[in-house]
């Protein structure tokens, strides 16, 4: 048999050639293709609903269920993502001191904020566009929150109007607002939310000029041009997509918004004692210590390590809440011991909704509350009122 015949004998079949061509086209950046960079590895299967033991169990299934662009939107932090990882590292710098003597079934996690009784200091942080995670979106999240007696903060950029979310269930809702320079859009949004039953208004003042390096290097965001609907604005004309929509923020904003709020008004995004004092000077009724989940300022502090500074500056005049990086009930206990009045979870609740819909979101909340009770019992705290600085030691760098 000649050389040509040997090549023909061992060469690709027509079927193999077509399969190779299809694979090439499927991965082509020209087709804005999606890739899966997270194979299952040695596990071979995803955990089932009844096998979920902590909120981290939900993330792989969430990642598998949603488009890569949606996962990256949920996961990314600003620039190098230093602050994103520092948020989690900070929990290693706070150690719980166990004294025991309390049965977890006897632990009372109830608390009170702004005159409203809450079953737990664990709350749902505002996160955007939840319908991208599951068709029920914020409607399912609100039902899950109501079932677990959890207060939910609804994002300014939710998938559904606030009144429709409020109609989906009876549980307590707060409304988060990205303020506009023009006063009238703020008035319209705040009036609609308060008329629908918003118990507080949360004004976010961080994330003023962020960009996400992770997004600059992925095809599904940086490849083919995206369609722009009439309701969305095109990306800013710079390679980092840094918008200028909130670069105008000044403390006067709270003076302007105060007359529009018939309910308590909170400032979200405070990371210094000086900033907390400024909030008090401008009539803010509460503070949320937050770095936007690591999406605001790269190489900034974690929210947990500056919590005590903010609490000290406030001096008990208004409630202090916190978010950014929280994944476990024991994380919440550490923040409560350092002076927080409540703790907000964002990504964790998104993982639950994206993995299993409303039941998944509900299970995430149940797991977090069960973990909080167990941690409180181990620390010897039978109620939220008994949680204090004595149950933790810190070694912040």
Catalytic residue at 134? no
Which residues, at least 6 apart from 317, have a Cβ–Cβ distance to it below 8 Å?
280
CB 270 within 8 Å of CB 226: no
Q: Which helix (H) or strand (E) holds 363?
A: helix 358-379
Which position among 76, 134, 142, 292 bears the catalytic label? 292
Q: Is 20 left (phi over 0), alpha (psi -120 to 50) or beta?
A: alpha
Helices (H), 231-337: 252-257, 273-281, 303-314, 329-337
Closest CA to 384 of 315, 319, 293: 319
Task: Kindly write down the DSSP assignment for every residue of 107-161, as one continuous string.
Answer: -B--EEETTEEES-SEEEPP-S-GGGT-TTHHHHHHHHHHHTT--EEEPTT-SS-
CA 150 – CA 200 distance, rounded (Å) = 15
Supply the residues annotated as catalytic.
Answer: 292
């Amino acid at each position: 048999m000649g050389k040509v015949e040997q090549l023909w004998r061992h060469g690709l079949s027509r079927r193999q050639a077509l399969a190779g061509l299809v694979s090439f086209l499927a991965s082509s950046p020209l087709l804005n293709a999606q890739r899966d960079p997270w194979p299952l590895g040695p596990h071979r299967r995803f955990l089932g609903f009844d096998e979920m033991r902590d909120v981290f169990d939900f993330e792989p299934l969430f990642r598998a269920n949603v488009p890569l662009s949606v996962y990256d939107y949920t996961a990314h932090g600003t620039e190098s993502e230093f602050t994103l990882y520092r948020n989690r590292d900070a929990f290693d710098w706070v150690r719980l001191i166990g004294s025991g003597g309390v049965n977890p079934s006897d632990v009372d996690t109830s608390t009170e904020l702004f005159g409203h009784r809450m079953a737990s200091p664990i709350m749902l942080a505002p996160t955007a566009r939840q319908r991208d995670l599951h068709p029920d979106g914020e409607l399912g999240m609100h039902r899950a929150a109501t079932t677990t007696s959890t207060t939910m903060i609804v994002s300014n950029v939710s998938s559904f109007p606030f009144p429709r979310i409020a109609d989906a269930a009876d549980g307590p809702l707060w409304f988060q607002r990205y303020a506009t320079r023009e006063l009238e859009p703020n008035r319209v949004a705040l009036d609609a939310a308060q008329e629908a039953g918003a118990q507080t208004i949360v004004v976010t003042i961080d994330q003023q000029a962020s960009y996400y390096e992770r997004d600059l290097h992925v095809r599904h965001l940086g490849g083919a041009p995206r369609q722009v609907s009439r309701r969305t604005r095109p990306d800013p004309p710079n390679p980092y997509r840094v918008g200028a929509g909130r670069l105008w923020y000044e403390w006067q904003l709270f003076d302007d918004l105060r007359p529009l709020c018939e309910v308590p008004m909170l400032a979200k995004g405070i990371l210094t004692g000086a900033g907390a004092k400024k909030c008090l000077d401008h009539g803010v009724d509460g503070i949320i210590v937050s770095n936007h989940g690591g999406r605001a300022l790269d190489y900034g502090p974690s929210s947990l390590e500056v919590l005590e500074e903010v609490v000290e500056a406030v001096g008990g005049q208004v409630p202090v809440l916190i978010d950014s990086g929280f994944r476990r009930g024991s994380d919440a206990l550490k923040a409560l011991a350092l002076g927080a009045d409540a703790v907000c979870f964002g990504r964790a609740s998104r993982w639950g909704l994206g993995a299993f819909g409303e039941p998944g979101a509900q299970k995430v909340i149940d797991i977090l509350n069960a973990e909080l009770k167990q941690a409180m019992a181990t620390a010897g705290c039978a109620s939220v009122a008994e949680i204090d600085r004595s149950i933790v030691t810190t070694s912040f760098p």
